[in-house]
Structure 1
Amino acid sequence: MKEFSAKKPNVVFIITDDHRGEAIGAFGREAVQTPVLDALAAGGTACRNTHIIGGLTGALCAPSRACVQTGIPIFRATVGKDMVTRENLNVIRPDVRIMPQAMQEAGYRTHAVGKWHNDKASFTRGFQGGDKLLFGGMSDHTQVPVYDYDPTGAYPKEQEYVEHTFSTELFTNAAINFIAGYGQDEPFFLYVAYTAPHDPRTAPEPYASMYDRASLPLPPNFAPEHAFDNGELMIRDEKLAGWPREESEIRIHMGDYYAMISHMDAQIGRIVEVLKAKGIYDDTLIVYTADHGLAVGQHGLMGKQNLYEHSVHIPLIFHGPGVPKGKQEEALASNIDIFPTVAGLCAVDLPEETEGRSLCPLFAGEREGARRIVGSAYRDIQRMVTDGRWKLIRYYRSPITNAGTERIQLFDLLNDPWETHDLSADPAHAGDIERLATELAAWMQATGDMLQEQPVLPVAPRV
């Protein structure tokens, strides 16, 4: 049997759906209880300034997960590039080696549990096993359409069946079964993809009653409606609450959202416990992240189809061998950096086509090479760039739907982290706008953004 280095850690890679970056108790911004994630952050490194690249479709799960799996900006990560038909935007390029594929080639046993919102061909080339596999975006949490692992990669519809165990518990049970029964010599790469806290937000008791909806504090950026047409005000997510947004209804949604997160946190705790019981906790790298965030009433929005921090800022926690303990890393990062960082911590060679940057040098205290800016995109109607303090959002009117508004916003994230004061009309900030507009244009060109030929407004329009 092939021998593997004892220094290679096992990996439990956890990715969730709709969990925004600040909705973790240890980070102190929201009234959510997450003792397990708090402990992982305290015993590891929390990358507090990680953003998604974005996507060209309202179902942001698929493009974000494609970026995580490939370490490549969405404009080059998938087969589809047409924003008119929006076809194949979830299909990962077949010539790209994805994260589990690289791990497998390095001697890891790869196993998946839960949601895979990209194409089945990419899943099949990445994973050698799996259980309770959901090929799609969402489901009722007590009626989950799943497949058993199919080594042929076909997954015909007649092999799908419905599980009635709550999704988060269903996927956790499958992950625990894999860990408890694992007895092979090579290290494992276990990919656990939850559908929580995505709606329908129907957490089981006692979590459903954990939060008093009447007393939850509203965020400072709560608004009855969005200030202008951002091009995507009528998508499904935005219809989950009435217009104008009522404070009482938003508090109900917030409580339901937090309940889903707290329930999921407890289930992750079960995975931690089985790692400890098996005696491999200290030898296992645990990665926690999400595909994107969610508004839930902030800025008058409900969904993730926007470029405010609540939607593009994601949690990212590393815990285990090679990871500093108790570190909160504030350097800018992108979700395409996750794969290179996992590879670096596991001594796995990266595919040449990977464009993300490993965060391992930052973990070691090396600041050279840290990102100066990060950018994000949403369809053909929104683009964003930030240097960590100043943030520019550029809005377009869609030539496809004719929705949207030609304008910009400028925020000072240091003094206005909730993005409540748009400074774009202030002449004192003309230089900041011009500088960020130049950075945005360069980012769009570098990532292969198809809107790169359109001009970026150099000054704030008066609206």
Structure 2
Amino acid sequence: MKHSIPTVCILALSVVAVLFASPVVAQAEVTTTPNATKNVLVFFVDDLRPELGCYGVEAMHSPSIDALASEGLLFEHAYCQQALCAPSRISMMTGQYPDRTGICDLFTPLRKVNKTAMTLPLYFQQRGYVTASFGKVYHHRRDDQTSWSEIPTPPSAKYADPVTLAAIDERVKDAKAQKLDVDQTRLAAKGPPTECFEIDDEGYRDGVVARQAIESLRRNQDKPFFMCVGFAKPHLPFAAPKRYWDLYERDQFQIPSRQRPDGSPDLAFTVWGELRAYHGIPQDGELSDEMTRELMHGYAASVSFADAQVGKVMAELDRLHLRDDTLVVLWGDHGFKLGEYGLWCKHTNFELDAHVPLIISAPGNMSGKRTDALVEIVDLFPTLASMTGGEVPESCDGKSLRPLLRNPDQNFKPYALTQYPRGSTMGYSLRNDRYRYTEWIQAGTKRVVARELYDHRDTKTPESNLASSPEHKDRISRLSQQLDAARRIENTNVNRKK
């Protein structure tokens, strides 16, 4: 499947290259105040839906993450800035919206566009911390390399079953013998979307990543550290040791409704090419109920596998008596669709893609609590800066979540923003306490070519787009003005950096 950088991103990239011509690194050269949290440990979990035991889904086996939630604050309404790995993670690491970073595609590393942007590892490096990256943190492992004290090479194996590996090798040989083009050869190199194999955790990448993080904790227990641990699961392929599959029964998974919301524009949807690239998945049409249940089962097994790796690292933190000196964050880079609306994976502005799990456990703050406040992943950078006694860089778009960690019942933000491009059109989505409102705006004309309005009071998957409903005319007008004002504030922030 061929990819290209959307026109809206290309325009943003050219702007950002100019905006950050002068370094901003001096902003992070600050001192640490007394009694501030000493260490920071951040778990990145790829494609993780906010469907865990601690989020009220009792069927999901997630004891380690549930335990972390019992020691911290769980955010019921946290939202990523774009439902795609690279831009979401770059937004988190810079504390900036995609329109600020200029990156809204999968193929552009931050440092290719912006050599001097302030990032979390650079910020903590300048404050004298050991900065360590394990597993999938940035989408591009080579990104920000000079800002890390430790960044070991992770294992690359996605499969462990020799039968699976042999079949992949045979398909690649056949593709080369037939002199197929690059895309067809790449498709042949893909394995199946699921794998259930008897093997130890370290037979897969995330098990090794957990071990690498544990070894670093032992090495650096007497130093302040900023550590990021990125687990690839539950990203495709859903490959996990058999014992995690055995936690679930196949028939416990219910097929979701494949009905798309009435009146929704074509721009809102994808053809979920990410899943179709895997061997055995049809290139068009819907999946069978049997395949749907297999994938749902594999996703749940992968979540439990990732959860176990979180538990191993947390157990070592406790064993080393570092827990009382360490601020721990767990977040998902975006959501994931499991057949809802007949769709899979991410790549949209729907609630299922934008809504993410977020847990923060900070010594001396609320524990075992949850908050309904609307928050965004760009809020993590200022949170980590302020909670460790540092100054928040002016480059950050977000705001510190520290007040919520002391009083989770207060209002925090009136809305959260998410965006996703379709070629030369960008979809901007505003989520308030009840509605998700989206405008699709052409890059050149700035014309709104489509609108969406969904009522999320009672469901994550509304059945209708209410944007054309006369009874919502005034609401749409207000939300449109609010969305436009939010985008203007972002542009003002950009211009201020010139």
How far apart in 1 are the matches of 2:140 and 2:291?
Answer: 37
Give the alignment's TM-score, normalised by structure 1. 0.80
Match of 2:487 among 429, 444, 447: 444
2:152 is matched with 131
The answer to whether the 8 Å contact 1:50/1:332 transfers is yes
Paired residue secondary structure (1:391): strand
Q: Which runs of 5+ in 1 are unaligned?
A: 144-162, 400-404, 450-463
Contact 2:42 2:227 in 1 (8 A): yes
For the Cα contact (< 8 Å) 2:437–2:452, is it kept in 1? yes
**How far apart are the structure 2 equivalents of 1:435 and 1:315?**
29
Q: Residue deviations 1:84-108, cap 9 Å, x none?
A: x976677462222111111222232
Which residue does the alignment assign to 2:434? 389
User: CA-to-partner distance for each residue in 1:28-82, whole Å, 9 max, x for gaps?
Assistant: 2473211111111121001121111117xxxx2111111010001111224x58x
TM-score normalised per structure 2? 0.75
Aligned to 1:157: none
Structure-1 separation of matches of 2:457 and 2:32 = 50
Distance 2:488 2:314 in 1: 42
| Greater relative CO (CA pairs within 8 A, separation 6+) | 2
The Cα shift of 1:193 comes to: 1.1
- 1:461 alignment partner in structure 2: none
1:32 alignment counterpart = 60
The one-letter code of the counterpart of 1:429 is H
1:153-200 superposed Cα distances (whole Å, 9 cap, x missing partner): xxxxxxxxxx9830110100101111123243x311111011111101
Structure 2 match to 1:201: 238
Structure richer in helix, relative to its length:
2
Distance 1:266 1:67, change over 3 A: same
Shift of the 327–91 alpha-carbon distance from structure 1 to 2, 3 Å rule, reads: farther
Taking structure 1 as reference, are residues 362 and 3 closer, same or farther at Cα in structure 2, changes over 3 Å only?
A: closer
Distance in 2 (alpha carbons) for counterparts of 1:174 and 1:272: 13
Distance 2:348 2:382 in 1: 26
Provide the C-alpha distance between the structure 1 equivalents of 2:260 and 2:416, rounded to a whole number of angstroms: 30
State which of 457, 472, 489 in structure 2 corresponds to 1:414: 457
User: Judging changes above 3 Å, is the alpha-carbon distance between structure 1 residues 124 and 4 closer, same or farther for their aligned structure 2 residues?
Assistant: farther
User: Residue 375 of structure 1 corresponds to which residue in structure 2?
Assistant: 417
Q: Partner of 1:8: helix, strand, or coil?
A: coil
Amino acid paired to 1:412: D
Q: Distance in 2 between matches of 1:430 and 1:26?
A: 38
CA RMSD in angstroms, aligned pairs only: 3.2
Q: What is the distance in 1 between the residues matched to 2:138 and 2:113?
A: 10
> For 1:355, what is the secondary structure of its paired residue?
coil
Partner residue in 2 for 1:251: 293
Is residue 2:312 matched to residue 1:277?
no
User: Is the 8 Å Cα contact of residues 47 and 331 (structure 1) preserved in structure 2?
Assistant: yes
Q: State the distance in 2 between where 1:31 and 1:92 align.
A: 43
> Is 2:352–2:460's contact at 8 Å kept on the other side of the alignment?
no
State the distance in 1 between where 2:141 and 2:305 align.
29
Structure 2 residue corresponding to 1:172, chosen from 210, 222, 233: 210
Query: Which digits, 9 at most, give the CA deviation of each residue in 1:307-334, with x for residues without a partner?
Result: 1111111111011314311221111111
Q: Is the 8 A contact 1:110 1:190 kept in 2?
A: yes
Shift of 1:359: 0.7
Candidates 158, 180, 185, aligned match of 1:140: 158
Q: Quote the sequence identity (%).
A: 26
* 2:181 is the alignment partner of 1:181: no
Which residue number in structure 2 is paired with residue 77 of structure 1? 101
Letter in 2 for 1:319: S
* 1:409 shift after superposition: 2.3
Q: Tell me which amino acid in the other structure corresponds to 1:272.
A: M
